[in-house]
Amino acid sequence: MFLFKRYKIRSYEKGLLFRDDEFRGLVEEGTHWFFDPLDKVRVDVVSQRDPWLIHEKLDLIVKSGALKDRAVVLDLKDYERALVWIENRFSHVLPAGLYAYWTGQKDVRVEVVDARTVRFEHADLKVIARSPQAQRVLDVCTVNRDHVGVLFIDGRYVETLSAGLYAFWKGQSEAKVVEIDLRETLVDVGGQEIMTADKVTLRLNAVVTYKIVDARKAVSQTDDVRQALYRETQLVLRGVVGARELDAFLTDKDAVAKEIEDNVRRRAGELGLEIASVGIRDVILPGDMKDLMNKVTEARKASEANLISRREETAAMRSQANTAKLLADNPVLMRLRELEVLEKVAANGKLNIVMGEKGLADKVVNLL
């Protein structure tokens, strides 16, 4: 059995002296001998190159006062957190507890933060959030560009966050950020089978373009604002189209779309939305109804063509009647008209004159 124990402490080390498991003080640089026939002396050699002093009996070491002016001692309460910089570079975040950092070899700076202010704000937030140990004590979230974040703490609305990086302390209160897209979004309300007032079943496809203008309402009024808008548009379509007969609907689809848009816009405002446009994209008729509509259209076009033809015939006959009346009232015009006819006949071919009765011959001679 050895009666003496030898310990060598280098320039960057400290010795923690324990006798019978009780802390007795620090052992400085050098070679030290301890008389220990009963094996009750122990010196734990720790390096100051790693400033963080981690030891199972740290509370005894701190309580002894041996670390005064040699280390930074932190006794963080339940609501406190500490940010640690080593050599002016951020190192880690500490939760509640007892900690000590040697100050002999490296520059150590500590900032104590009150975690009862749930949202953590700091000039070096980006650097702190990237720290691996930060994930243990911080909930970090990013609100993307063209989005906002609706912040709730313990279920209560607090504020609406713009795009950026945010962090919240764990363990104090429950923080939740709901990210909302502010860009225009399209809702396709397709395959809607609706019966018109005259019992014709149509299949409609509509499109709604909207954007969120009140993020708090969009989150608080319904669990899914997109689904709520789809449902409201569906009900409005059925109400507006179902109140019209097929012909009235087909002849004035723009007015129907305008009425649908007005009704949807009122409900959308309650959900924190702004409607950009509502349109009916497709109207699909049943097969038999489509054939019937084609026949009706064909008959209508034929009737219109017949009417136009009759109008032209009537106009021609009216013109001829007016001409005949004018010639009958004016013999000189009648004579000129006859000469024009003979001139056209003579110009187009050979003119043969056959003499018959005396009266006819006299008429032709007189005419020539």
- Residue 210 belongs to a domain with what CATH number? 3.30.479.30
pLDDT in tens, 140-171: 999 999 999 999 999 999 999 999 999 999 98
DSSP β-ladder status, 185-195 and 201-212: antiparallel
Neighbours of 223 (CB within 10 A): 8
Partners of 22 in beta bridges: 19
pLDDT in tens, 209-228: 999 999 999 999 888 999 99
Q: What gap in Å lies between CA 177 and CA 151, rounded to an integer? A: 5
In a domain, 276, yes or no: yes
Answer with the one of 181, 216, 234 that is the final residue of a domain. Answer: 181
Give me the pLDDT at residue 346, please.
67
Give me the pLDDT at residue 360, please.
47
Answer with the one of 58, 78, 106 that is the final residue of a domain. Answer: 106
In a domain, 91, yes or no: no
Token readout for 335 is 């004579």
Answer with the one of 247, 266, 285 that is the final residue of a domain. Answer: 285
Mean pLDDT of 331-345: 70
In a domain, 136, yes or no: yes
Does the pLDDT of residue 259 top 70, yes or no? yes
pLDDT in tens, 176-196: 999 999 999 999 988 888 888
Mean pLDDT of 275-293: 74
Does the pLDDT of residue 33 top 60, yes or no? yes
In a domain, 137, yes or no: yes
% of the chain residues with pLDDT over 70: 86
Q: 319 vs 15, 181, 322, 325, 333, CA distance in Å?
A: 130, 72, 5, 10, 16
Give me the pLDDT at residue 223, please.
87
Q: 9 vs 14, 20, 45, CA distance in Å?
A: 6, 21, 7
121 in the same domain as 190: no
Does the pLDDT of residue 235 top 70, yes or no? yes
272 in the same domain as 192: yes
**Domain extent for 120:** 115-181
Which phi and psi angles does 272 have, rounded to 5°? 80, 25
363 in the same domain as 325: yes
pTM of the model: 0.68
Does the pLDDT of residue 324 top 70, yes or no? yes
**Domain count across the chain:** 4
In a domain, 291, yes or no: no
What is the arrangement of strands in the sheet containing 119-120, beginning at the earlier edge strand?
119-120, 164-169, 138-143
Q: What gap in Å lies between CA 220 and CA 272, rounded to an integer? A: 9
Question: For residue 284, which amino acid is it?
Answer: I
194 in the same domain as 161: no
Does the pLDDT of residue 354 top 60, yes or no? no
CA 4 distance to own-chain centroid: 76
